[in-house]
Amino acid sequence: MIALVRPGPVDGWLSAEPTSAPTPAPTTPDPSPSPVLVAATGGGPAPTSDGVTRAIDPLVKSAALGTKVHVAVLDVASDEVLYERDADTMTTPASTTKLLTAAAVLDARGPSYRLSTRAVAGSAPGEVVLIGGGDPTLATTKNTLFPGAARLDLLAAQVKKALGATAATSLRYDTSLFSGPETAKGWDSTDISFGQVSRIQALMVNAGRVRPIHNEFGGDPRSANPADAAARAFAKLLGVPSSAVKKGKAPTAAPASADTGGWTPGQQLGVVQSPPMVQLTDWMLEQSDNTAAEALGRHVAIADGKPATFDAATDAIVARMRDLGLPADEANLYDASGLSRNNGISPAMLTELLALAASGQRPALSSIFGGLPVAGWSGTMTKRFVTPQPNQVGQGVVRAKTGTLSGVNTMAGVLTTADGRLLVFAIMASGSANAITGRAALDKVAARLVTCGC
């Protein structure tokens, strides 16, 4: 069974204090609420490929979906392919790329792994060095964008305590964990200016945002230099003037026997850690955070002993897919987020990954389902499966990662049919003349699978 814990309004309902005396029970019983999320048990009568083809083939051929449509549908319990249309052909995946990134980093690091941001003593008394640990969710102070994130204000308190009577006089920031270009091949020139993503650096707060906000289709202003902005925010917390902030490398820690005159370069002054990796991948998938995806992709490369660059990260992600026994030759990546139009992934690659995650054979991979947006309920699927009215049958039942680029609409995820059968699917369409009608046509295919007594 796959379960989803939904924060937010549910927490408010459970924890709110009563504001008035209880009122008598209504005379008419309240209607039973529909489930927010249907249990995915995988049981029920097995569908047939002929039945599924009759059900969705006319919808897949709809002009509203686009000029090129690639589809795969697979029954998890039997591992039988129920429907395929150019399923082994790589096509632009958009943000469904993040499924590979999440699976790879969970496989590489495990769900409980945390990212550390450290501060150490610099080369001279009073100098502090902030070392970026590649945590895209690092925050300056408490906020609602990434609840429970590591925070610079807490790190600053540790540093002040460690320094004691010594005042912090200057700050260096070390971003050497990541290297290479800070933008990927295939990104649009406006992706950063429109707030879709930030420059990819090992040190940033709020995934490079100027303010801790998130909008599904961009509009989140980004810092021109995320690492420098984070360092200046940290310096302010330490009482260090902005003029004393510079980029640099952390010194190598002195041997314990060395005479350092009371100041030990490289000595740790404080550390804060991110939430567990499973929570980072949940946020990345649910909100489709591009910067978070790129940072987590680099941690796959680091885990494999490779440099944290775009090329090494994408190579490491694909290699992980191959090691998992998946058709890695059907994935060609230029980034870890799906912003690059140069990316190519086949529907078969996505459905086989989802089926493996659902099988329980690799427990770490099963964690990706907790982050998949739920139709009509969470993340990028909150407003999906609304119109036309028949699509609403998918609300609370379809859990999937969506992808959107200009002219491209994709979706890959899981659903439970009316007969209680668990299916995984990937629908990848391009060439739609209208993004809104194209997404609705895509939703219609998944909704038909939900009602399928095939």
Closest CA to 200 of 333, 293, 315: 293
Place of tokens 């699927």: 381
Q: Which amino acid is at 301?
A: A
Closest CA to 250 of 336, 144, 175: 175
Considering 98, 160, 401, 444, which one is annotated as catalytic? 98
Catalytic site includes residue 288: yes
b or e along 352-390 (b: 16 or more beta carbons within 10 Å of the residue's beta carbon)?
bbbbbbbeeeeebbbbbbbbbbbbbbbbbbeebbeeeee
Considering 170, 198, 223, 288, which one is annotated as catalytic? 288
In angstroms, the CA 307 to CA 323 distance is 20
Q: How many other C-beta atoms can be found within 10 angstroms of the C-beta atom of residue 13?
A: 8
If you ran DSSP here, which 8-state letter would residue 28 be given?
S
Peptide bond into 388 cis (omega under 30): yes
Place of tokens 């009602």: 451
Transcribe 266-288 into DSSP letters: T-EEEEEEPSPHHHHHHHHHHHT
Q: For 72, list phi and psi in degrees, rounded to 5.
A: -140, 135
404, 29 contact by CB (below 8 A): no
b or e along 105-139 (b: 16 or more beta carbons within 10 Å of the residue's beta carbon)?
bbbbbebebbbebbbbbbeeebbbbbbbbbbbbbb
In angstroms, the CA 454 to CA 61 distance is 19
In angstroms, the CA 131 to CA 203 distance is 7
In angstroms, the CA 101 to CA 295 distance is 10
Q: How many other C-beta atoms can be found within 10 angstroms of the C-beta atom of residue 197?
A: 26
Structure tokens at 99: 């499924």
In angstroms, the CA 327 to CA 131 distance is 38
In the three-class reduction of DSSP (H, G, I as helix; E, B as strand; rest coil), residue 53 is classed as helix
Structure tokens at 404: 């959107």
Residues with active-site annotation = 95, 98, 288
